[in-house]
């Protein structure tokens, strides 16, 4: 399908149409990609839904740790559903156009859910810190009311900031092109289309990333430094192994999510390449959410036991 590309002198209005190029440079793989992404989406939906179900109904999992895990799985479904259905639609129909309003809406929800993930991962690390470093006070500190407040705070924390950032970015004039060399509306490829100097907006993006990603990441580092220090002082090897096993899954998810996301958003605009941006974005928007249920399930005996009770026996 052919699309009209804007010239540099064209002025863009609110009614403009962007074009998500996505994987259009791989015309012979469109069918294969649609099958692969459909399977990945189903894995993400089924895997995270199973975690939500077992943490809700299994008595052994009625603990703060699994309450936050259920919230994280719910968030993963929302996070992936902002981008993957649109990718599949573009692959199935080969209609890659998207209105400015739809593009801004997609970016806003993507950023809000991404921010919520950052804060929820920090909350989950705090939960592990209290459980391991202050086990006697754990039931008192992480009571149901506190858990609900922390979860709600994580979900809503990014809403005002990311609405403001989205409005700021889409208040720019776009006159270089209307072709977005990406598979969803993300900040780096959108800034590339803006007219004139965007250095102020780049600084704004860095500030927001430091606020919504770096701060939670620092809180996670502080929590785990104290956790590791406490674990190393445990008298028995069995105790140390058990304590590490309750944290290793969460720590692996943190590294995967924050690592790829930080590289994407903290690189200068001049260092961004479409291929690298797509690869990194695929990693933290699709690949990591697909593996998260597996990481939490296969590395957690309680979750595996609950799954065995839920699934039909052979």
Residue 15 binned pLDDT confidence (cut-offs 50, 70, 90): low
Query: What's the rounded mean pLDDT across residues 164-193?
Result: 86
pLDDT tens-digit profile of 113-133? 999 999 999 999 999 899 888
Greater pLDDT, 11 or 52: 52
To 10 degrees, the CA torsion angle through 153, 286, 108, 167? Answer: 130
The encoded tokens of residue 150 equal 């922390």
Which are the contacts of 168, defined by CB distance < 8 A and separation ≥ 6?
A: 201, 204
Greater pLDDT, 167 or 301: 167
Predicted local confidence at residue 259, as pLDDT? 74
| Euclidean distance between CA atoms 75 and 114, whole angstroms | 9
Residue 246 binned pLDDT confidence (cut-offs 50, 70, 90): low
Would the pLDDT of 18 be above 80?
yes
Average pLDDT, the chain: 83
Would the pLDDT of 39 be above 90?
yes
Pick the range with the lowest mean pLDDT from 99-108, 174-183, 266-275.
266-275
Predicted local confidence at residue 243, as pLDDT? 66
Predicted local confidence at residue 77, as pLDDT? 94
Pick the range with the lowest mean pLDDT from 78-82, 106-110, 247-251.
247-251
Which domains can be identified in the chain, with CATH numbers? Answer: 17-310 (1.20.1070.10)
Q: Of the candidates 224, 219, 209, which has an alpha carbon nearest to the alpha carbon of residue 262?
A: 209
Query: What's the rounded mean pLDDT across residues 155-176?
Result: 88
Query: What's the rounded mean pLDDT across residues 73-100?
Result: 91
| Euclidean distance between CA atoms 279 and 260, whole angstroms | 9
Greater pLDDT, 170 or 263: 170
Would the pLDDT of 13 be above 60?
no
pLDDT tens-digit profile of 194-232? 887 778 888 888 888 888 888 898 999 899 888 888 888
Predicted local confidence at residue 266, as pLDDT? 64
In this prediction, what percent of the chain has a pLDDT beyond 70? Answer: 85
| Euclidean distance between CA atoms 307 and 179, whole angstroms | 45
Please give, one letter per residue, the 3-state secondary structure of the chain: CCCCCCCCCCCCCCCCEEEECCCCCCHHHHHHHHHHHHHHHHHHHHHHHHHHHHHHHCHHHCCHHHHHHHHHHHHHHHHHHCCHHHHHHHHHHCCCEEEHHHHHHHHHHHHHHHHHHHHHHHHHHHHHHHHHHCHHHHHHHCCHHHHHHHHHHHHHCCHHHHHHHHHHHHCCCECCCCEECCCCCCHHHHHHCECCCCHHHHHHHHHHHHHHHHHHHHHHHHHHHHHHHHHHCCCCHHHHHHHHHHHHHHHHHHHHHHHHHHHHHHCCHHHCCHHHHHHHHHHHHHHHHHHHHHHHHHCCHHHHHHHHHHCCCC
Q: Distance of CA 152 to CAs 71, 117, 146, 159, Å?
A: 9, 12, 10, 12
Would the pLDDT of 83 be above 50?
yes
Largest CA distance in the chain: 71
Greater pLDDT, 34 or 277: 34
| Euclidean distance between CA atoms 147 and 117, whole angstroms | 16
Predicted local confidence at residue 270, as pLDDT? 57
Predicted local confidence at residue 11, as pLDDT? 47
């Amino acid at each position: 399908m052919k699309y009209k590309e804007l010239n540099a002198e064209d002025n863009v209005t609110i009614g403009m149409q962007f074009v998500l190029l996505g994987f259009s440079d791989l015309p012979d793989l469109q069918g294969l990609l649609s099958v692969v992404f459909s399977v990945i989406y189903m894995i993400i939906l089924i895997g995270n839904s199973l975690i939500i179900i077992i943490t809700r109904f299994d008595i052994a999992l009625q603990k703060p740790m699994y309450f936050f895990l259920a919230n994280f799985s719910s968030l993963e479904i929302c996070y992936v559903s902002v981008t993957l259905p649109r990718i599949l639609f573009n692959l199935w129909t080969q209609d890659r156009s998207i209105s400015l309003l739809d593009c801004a809406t997609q970016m806003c929800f993507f950023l809000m859910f991404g921010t919520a993930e950052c804060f929820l991962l920090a909350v989950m690390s705090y939960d592990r810190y209290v459980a391991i470093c202050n086990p006697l006070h754990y039931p008192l500190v992480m009571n149901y009311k506190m858990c609900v407040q922390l979860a709600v705070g994580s979900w809503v924390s990014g809403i005002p900031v990311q609405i403001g950032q989205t409005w700021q970015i889409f208040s720019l004039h776009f006159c270089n092109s209307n072709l977005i060399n990406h598979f969803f509306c993300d900040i780096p490829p959108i800034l590339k289309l803006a007219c004139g100097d965007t250095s102020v907006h780049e600084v704004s993006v860095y500030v927001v990333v430091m606020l919504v990603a770096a701060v939670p990441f620092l809180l996670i580092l502080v929590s785990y430094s104290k956790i590791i220090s406490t674990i190393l002082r445990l008298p028995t090897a069995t105790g140390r192994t058990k304590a590490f096993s309750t944290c290793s899954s969460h720590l692996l998810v943190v590294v995967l999510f924050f690592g790829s996301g930080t590289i994407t958003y903290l690189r200068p605009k001049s260092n961004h390449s479409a291929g690298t941006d797509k690869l990194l974005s695929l990693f933290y928007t699709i690949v990591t959410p697909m593996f998260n249920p597996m990481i939490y399930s296969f590395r957690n005996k309680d979750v595996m036991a609950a799954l065995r009770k839920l699934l039909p026996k052979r």
